[in-house]
Structure 1
Amino acid sequence: METHELKAAWQAIDKRFERENRLTWQLLRDQRLDKVRSSLWPLIMGQCLQMLFGIVFILLAVLLWNTSAKPVATMIAGIVVHAYGVIVIITAGVVLGKLRSVDYAAPVLAIQKQLAQVRRYYVISGMIAGLPWWFMWVPVLMVLIGLTGVDLYAHTPWTVWSGIAVGAIGLLSTALFHRWSRSSKRPKLARYMEDSVTGSSLRKAQLQLSELQRFEED
């Protein structure tokens, strides 16, 4: 075989291997990204449930607006409950929108950055939905009792004010514990707290993307 013929044969073999490697990598990438999408379904369902959760509070407030007697204190409680329901729905919708906008055709690093942004909004959404419950049980209780035509604040104002005081103490304690747990002196606890707010779905997706990135770099 002539030299040029041998060189052409080797080039053909190299191109074939390169094409096969490309196909193998694309197949692996598609499989891993399918797993990433699947692992995010619990997060999607959780945000949908959060939206339903918010709808319940809006409906509760609507029931209050349809009652005849609406004392001022109960009206304020109804506005708070209604606003909470709307905000909870909006924050969950933002998270779902961010998840929907993730471009799985982008490079792995870009996908990781997009999921990191999803995580930020998810944490904010969880804080907005969860932390107010140090106080939210008070207006919810006022609305529920208000639906029976009774003004809780007029009958037992100490219940409302003590509930608000307990909520303030609880919220302050939560903030102090969060700050204490994130200290560099307690790395294991800090990592546990970080994982707890991230959610298992996002952690699993991020782990799969990290493995895919390592394979890509190799």
Structure 2
Amino acid sequence: MDLDDMKLAWQVLDQRLDRQHALNLQLFREGRMEKLRRGLRPLVWGQVAQIVLGSVLIGLAVAFWTTQGHVVHLLVCGLLIQLYGVLLIAFAARILYLVQRIDHAAPVLLIQRQLAELRAWRVKVEAPVNAILGCFVWIPVLWMNLAWYGFDLWSPGFFYWAMGSGLVGVAAVVVVVWWMRRAGMARKIEDNAAGRSLQKAEAVLDEISRFEQE
């Protein structure tokens, strides 16, 4: 075999190896992308459940304030619960939109950016809003539930106590977050806010990225 034949043989072998590597990469990517889809399903189901919950709250709130609207503070409680239900639906719809727009056929870098947008929404918007609202939403919920049975909690003393409890809750959240950040657990806070489904999806993309670089 002369030199030209050897060069041609090496070129053919290189082409076959490149095709084999491309095929392996495609199969690996397809398998991991399916894993990514499955990993995001619990997040999707959670948002669907949140939409149902928000719809139920809206229905109950409307049924409440339309019958108790002659009492101002009860009307306000019903409207606040209705607004909270709308917010739950809006937040869930935003998450579903961000998940749906993920292009699983796109380059890994683009998908990572899309997941980063989803993470930013959950960590920087959804988590702090839910934490603050969670400290106060129990007040109109309790008020409305008891009013159904004819118990009206209205009094300046109860109102100030309830609002004070909510503010204490907010302060506690702020202190805990501050302490965890000071202790070097900022990433843990963000991961908890992002959720396990998103963390698993990010890990899958990291696997694909490493495989492509090998």
**1:182 counterpart SS class:** helix
Are the counterparts in 2 of residues 50 and 92 from structure 1 also a CA contact under 8 Å? yes
1:201 aligns with 2:209: no
CA deviations 1:187-208 (Å, max 9, x no partner) are 2x33432322221111111112
1:172 is aligned to: 171
State the alpha-carbon separation in 2 of the partners of residues 119 and 191 from structure 1: 12
State the alpha-carbon separation in 2 of the partners of residues 134 and 3 from structure 1: 79
1:163 is aligned to: 162
Aligned pair count reads 213
1:54 is aligned to: 54
State the alpha-carbon separation in 1 of the partners of residues 148 and 128 from structure 2: 29
User: 5+ unaligned residues in a row in structure 2: which ranges?
Assistant: none
Percent identical pairs in the alignment equals 36
How many angstroms does 1:2 deviate by?
4.9
State the alpha-carbon separation in 1 of the partners of residues 135 and 62 from structure 2: 23
Do the aligned partners of residues 80 and 69 (structure 1) sit closer, same or farther apart at CA in structure 2, a change above 3 Å counting? Answer: closer
State the alpha-carbon separation in 2 of the partners of residues 169 and 201 from structure 1: 31
Select between 5-14 and 36-45 the one with higher mean Cα deviation: 5-14
Under a length normalisation based on structure 2, what TM-score does the superposition of the two structures give? Answer: 0.90
User: 5+ unaligned residues in a row in structure 1: which ranges?
Assistant: none
How many angstroms does 1:150 deviate by?
4.6
Are the counterparts in 1 of residues 65 and 74 from structure 2 also a CA contact under 8 Å? no
1:139 is aligned to: 140
1:12 aligns with 2:8: no
Are the counterparts in 2 of residues 134 and 168 from structure 1 also a CA contact under 8 Å? yes
Q: CA RMSD in A?
A: 1.9
Select between 91-100 and 3-12 the one with higher mean Cα deviation: 3-12
Are the counterparts in 1 of residues 51 and 88 from structure 2 also a CA contact under 8 Å? yes
Under a length normalisation based on structure 1, what TM-score does the superposition of the two structures give? Answer: 0.88
Alignment of 1:1-218 (within 5 A): 1-67=1-67, 70-123=70-123, 124-153=125-154, 156-183=155-182, 186-187=183-184, 189-218=185-214
